[in-house]
Amino acid sequence: MSTLLVKHAYIVTMDDRHREYPDGGIFVRDGFIEHIGHTGELPITADVILDLSGHVLLPGLVNTHHHFYQTLTRVVPPAQDANLFNWLKTLYPIWARLTPDDIFISTQTALTELALSGCTTASDHLYLFPNGSKLDDEIAAAKEVGLRLHASRGSMSRGESKGGLPPDSVVDTEKHILKDSQRLIEKYHDFVPGTMIQIVLAPCSPFSVTSDLMRESAKLAREYGVHLHTHLAETEDEEQFCLDMFGHRPVSYMQEVDWVGEDVWFAHAVWVNDEEIKTFQHYCCGVAHCPTSNMRLASGIAPIRKYRNAGINVGLGVDGSASNDGSHLLAEVRQAMLLARVKEGITGFSLSNDPSRKLMTAREALYLGTRGGAAVLGRTDIGSLEAGKCADFFAMDMNRLEFAGGGVHDPVSALVFCQPVRVDYTVVGGKFIVSEGNVVTLDERKLIKKHNKAAKRLLSDS
């Protein structure tokens, strides 16, 4: 039995009543929230007591789409100014050199960055397994950092010889992919509330995966009750590929291969029409919105306001670190708010007098990053701060230069409007991952050194 008491913070609960406590506290027992409310109403003793006067405290952010391994190939010069297909073709041969150690190191780098930006649960999509790499390498690395992980067993089965985009050297057989997927589910997947690890099946994209693998993956996932994830409708190039290869637009292709349902979430979902939004609504599919990546690769702007109005679950993702080129999830909340405003301005949405048609607010963007992400991953035990839920939260000291003048007017919105910075505390299941601005579960300096050595080797090997 261990207890933690946090007091005197400005707490944003993200509960259904949108409650905020200007002098709030949380009492945690064995990783779960037992009480939350005004500091004066909480127990006064605990094993650990933390006074967070002057701090804003929110539910831990939930990252719904990432490729941790890409931290090793950030800002690679030939891939800096390319759209998705050219970017991928430049990077596939480099990624083919990844080793199990590279997967381990890059996972720790990405998760450390995420933790320092307020993230407590991350989904990752690993779809290349060269030189003996396994999803197990990522899972082992994540355990040391201490964030909750939804590890997506990605896959590619359609190489160039079958009309796909990736070279044949980085794709695998359907038989091996399905066997390994089943092994991973049986070894790691855990349903209990507060689970630290879940497995997701995630064939990579329409242009790198055979239709048979899509169907068989869906069948396998549903036998075990695990979720399904893939890239979809990211670019116009992909749409054209789907029309040429399958005779369907991306969303109707998903219906064709049985990839619609509340157990499915799609990364990007930029190029969709109104009918396709209704399809997502009807089948309760979720969306991982990755605004920075969509801007970086010049992919387009996802119709987030339409998704939200249709009641579709939308979460945020930083996407792979080679198309962001960072893993700062709170910065992604900011990007989501700003990009939504660009879209809403273009469509004339904000020009209406209807008060429900206003620009995306900072609190709405934070909702996407917390409750929205939890819903997309199918979690009811995280995403808000309420009794019975996981004690996953982050806190930021408002007495910083970046918030000066803003934090006094509205500390919650200041987190989003002002310059994104490192958080002061990140707590997962009552355990400190970040404390006083530093990650405490590993040595950050040593990690940077190892990571840079691996990144250099990856580009110098030929």
d(C-alpha 6, C-alpha 303), whole Å: 38
Least distance between Zn ion and beta carbon 65 (Å): 6
d(C-alpha 372, C-alpha 148), whole Å: 16
d(C-alpha 49, C-alpha 45), whole Å: 7
Chain Cα centroid distance, residue 87: 21
Spatial neighbors of 356 by CB under 8 A, at least 6 apart, are none
Helix/strand/coil (H/E/C) assignment for every residue in 257-280? CCCCCCCEEEEECCCCCHHHHHHH
The residue (of 319 and 424) whose beta carbon lies closer to Zn ion is 319
Least distance between Zn ion and beta carbon 354 (Å): 35
Are the CB atoms for 167 and 128 separated by under 8 Å?
Answer: no
The residue (of 218 and 232) whose beta carbon lies closer to Zn ion is 232
β-bridge mates for residue 397, sequence order: 55
The residue (of 113 and 364) whose beta carbon lies closer to Zn ion is 113
Given the rule CB under 5 A, which of 19-27, 270-278, 317-325, 408-416 is the region that contacts Zn ion?
317-325
**What are the distances in angstroms from CA 243 to CA 82, 163, 258, 289, 321?**
23, 13, 18, 23, 29
Least distance between Zn ion and beta carbon 338 (Å): 21
The encoded tokens of residue 96 equal 């083919």
The residue (of 263 and 319) whose beta carbon lies closer to Zn ion is 319
Q: Which amino acid is at 433?
A: I
- The CA radius of gyration of the chain, in Å to the nearest whole number, is 21
Least distance between Zn ion and beta carbon 344 (Å): 25
The count of residues interacting with Zn ion (CB under 5 A) is: 1
Least distance between Zn ion and beta carbon 190 (Å): 24
Least distance between Zn ion and beta carbon 291 (Å): 13
Residues written for the chain: 462
The residue (of 68 and 280) whose beta carbon lies closer to Zn ion is 68
Least distance between Zn ion and beta carbon 279 (Å): 21
Least distance between Zn ion and beta carbon 76 (Å): 16
Burial class (CB in 10 A: 0-12, 13-18, 19+), 379: buried
Given the rule CB under 5 A, which of 195-203, 315-323, 352-360, 423-431 is the region that contacts Zn ion?
315-323
**What are the distances in angstroms from CA 334 to CA 61, 241, 318, 368, 414?**
13, 32, 11, 11, 10
The encoded tokens of residue 101 equal 């150690």
d(C-alpha 64, C-alpha 229), whole Å: 10
119: enclosing H helix or E strand? strand 119-126
The residue (of 319 and 325) whose beta carbon lies closer to Zn ion is 319
Least distance between Zn ion and beta carbon 38 (Å): 42
The residue (of 249 and 289) whose beta carbon lies closer to Zn ion is 289
The encoded tokens of residue 6 equal 């946090």
Q: Which residue is nearest to Zn ion (CB)?
A: 319
The residue (of 105 and 322) whose beta carbon lies closer to Zn ion is 322
Given the rule CB under 5 A, which of 175-183, 220-228, 311-319, 324-332 is the region that contacts Zn ion?
311-319
Residues 11-40 that bind Zn ion (CB under 5 A): none
Q: Which amino acid is at 30?
A: D
The residue (of 231 and 308) whose beta carbon lies closer to Zn ion is 231
Q: Which amino acid is at 82?
A: A
* Binding string, residues 205-244; x marks residues near Zn ion by CB under 5 A: ----------------------------------------
The encoded tokens of residue 347 equal 């469509």
Least distance between Zn ion and beta carbon 237 (Å): 15
Q: Which amino acid is at 186?
A: E
The residue (of 319 and 332) whose beta carbon lies closer to Zn ion is 319
Given the rule CB under 5 A, which of 84-92, 114-122, 314-322, 413-421 is the region that contacts Zn ion?
314-322
Strands 32-38 and 20-29 turn out to be antiparallel
Least distance between Zn ion and beta carbon 365 (Å): 20
Given the rule CB under 5 A, which of 41-49, 202-210, 313-321, 411-419 is the region that contacts Zn ion?
313-321
The residue (of 138 and 319) whose beta carbon lies closer to Zn ion is 319
β-bridge mates for residue 316, sequence order: 63, 289
Residues near Zn ion (CB under 5 A) are 319
